[in-house]
């Protein structure tokens, strides 16, 4: 159902973003890959999107801390996607970083980077991509927030602030674009996915911090038992499946939501 559509997935050289890129590709989308990494990692991510079924895939370089680089990236993606009408049809704001220390010890540079990548970049891609979505009558913004967009944990001041910010930003955009398009064209929707623990490199330092001299599995068990009642981590593909569903035409009236995939974390 994404044939002829162009998807931009930020932070898709790793983890959840790569899985979302692959899932959208499997449904026929052309995929604009973005994210940091060695040339080898970047080539692998693009090849992986093509292998999953993307009619075309390319890496677009942009350090998301820099609004000028984001503007250049959106212009490049629009030019590249002329074959499918030009512009981003599916925008997945997924890039994110974490740094877990108490508030008073949080380096100011970390606060600035986390807010820039996790929150401000999302504002910039949305302001640049959404007018085109409205003009074409179809658009999907899927913002990867977190359970930490709904509830807090200690030692994550900038991360939690950024994720609550994404949920608020998404609600504003959902309202502003609610009447764009039609039921037939699919409309323009904006939603957040709020994962609990997902198996990716982002959480390795937090697993490591809970090993207490034991194995990695001991660290995983300790992490899950603190907050995630299912005691199972999600796979990146599980998040990809929800992102893809939100892109379906039938989801035209699902907008302004923040959907937890958290094994019951926020039910407590
Ligand atoms: P990851 O570390 O595997 O991937 C992060 C991606 O962001 C990478 O592609 C990286 O290159 C990119 N990135 C980082 N800084 C960047 C920058 N300055 N410019 C461009 N790209 C940059 O992490 P992940 O776990 O896949 O996380 C993806 C998203 O999911 C993040 O927003 C994270 O907060 C969110 N999330 C993750 C979990 C989890 O348990 N893993 C839970 C909830 C939410």
Residue-wise pLDDT tens digits, 45-63: 999 999 999 999 999 999 9
Q: What is the mean pLDDT of residues 196-218?
A: 94
Same domain, 187 and 208: no
ipTM above 0.95, yes or no: yes
CATH number of 239's domain: 3.40.50.720
3-state secondary structure of 4: coil
Residues near 177 by beta carbon (within 8 Å), at least 6 away in sequence: 130, 133, 134, 139, 188, 189, 190, 255
Return the residue matching tokens 């000028």: 68
Residue 57 lies in a domain: yes
DSSP 235: P
User: For ligand 1, is residue 162 a contact (CB within 6 Å)?
Assistant: no
pLDDT of residue 86: 84
> Residue whose CA is closest, atom 3 of ligand 1?
15
Above pLDDT 90, what percent of the chain? 98
Helical H runs in 27-156? 39-51, 67-80, 108-114, 121-136
Same domain, 141 and 218: no
User: For ligand 1, is residue 146 a contact (CB within 6 Å)?
Assistant: yes
What's the 184 CA to ligand 1 centre distance in angstroms? Answer: 34
User: For ligand 1, is residue 87 a contact (CB within 6 Å)?
Assistant: no
Active site residue 159: yes
Same domain, 127 and 209: no
Residue 125 lies in a domain: yes
- Element at 181 (helix H, strand E): none
Expressed as residue numbers, the domain containing 210 is 202-233
Number of domains composing the chain: 2
């Amino acid at each position: 159902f994404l044939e002829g559509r162009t998807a931009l997935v930020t932070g898709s050289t790793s983890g959840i973003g790569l899985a979302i890129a692959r899932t959208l590709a499997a449904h026929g989308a052309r995929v604009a890959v973005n994210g940091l990494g060695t040339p080898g990692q970047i080539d692998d991510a693009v090849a992986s999107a093509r292998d999953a079924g993307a009619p075309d895939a390319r890496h677009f370089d942009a350090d998301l801390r820099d609004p000028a680089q984001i503007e250049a990236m959106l212009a490049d993606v629009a030019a590249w996607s002329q074959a499918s009408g030009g512009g981003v049809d599916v925008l997945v704001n997924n890039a994110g970083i974490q740094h877990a220390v108490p508030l008073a010890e949080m380096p100011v540079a970390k606060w600035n980077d986390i807010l820039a990548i996790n929150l401000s970049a999302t504002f910039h891609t949305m302001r640049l991509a959404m007018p085109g979505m409205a003009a074409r009558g179809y658009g999907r913004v899927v913002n990867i927030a977190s359970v930490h967009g709904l509830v807090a944990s200690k030692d994550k001041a900038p991360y939690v602030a950024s994720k609550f910010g994404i949920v608020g930003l998404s609600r504003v955009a959902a309202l502003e674009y609610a009447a764009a398009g039609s039921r037939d064209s699919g409309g323009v929707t904006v939603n957040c996915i709020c994962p609990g623990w997902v198996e990716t490199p982002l959480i390795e330092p937090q697993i490591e911090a809970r090993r207490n001299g034991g194995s990695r599995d001991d660290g995983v068990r300790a992490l899950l038992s603190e907050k995630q009642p299912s005691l199972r981590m999600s796979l990146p593909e599980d998040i990809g499946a929800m992102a893809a569903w939100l892109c379906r035409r039938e989801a035209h009236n699902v907008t302004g939501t923040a959907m937890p995939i958290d094994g019951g974390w926020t039910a407590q």
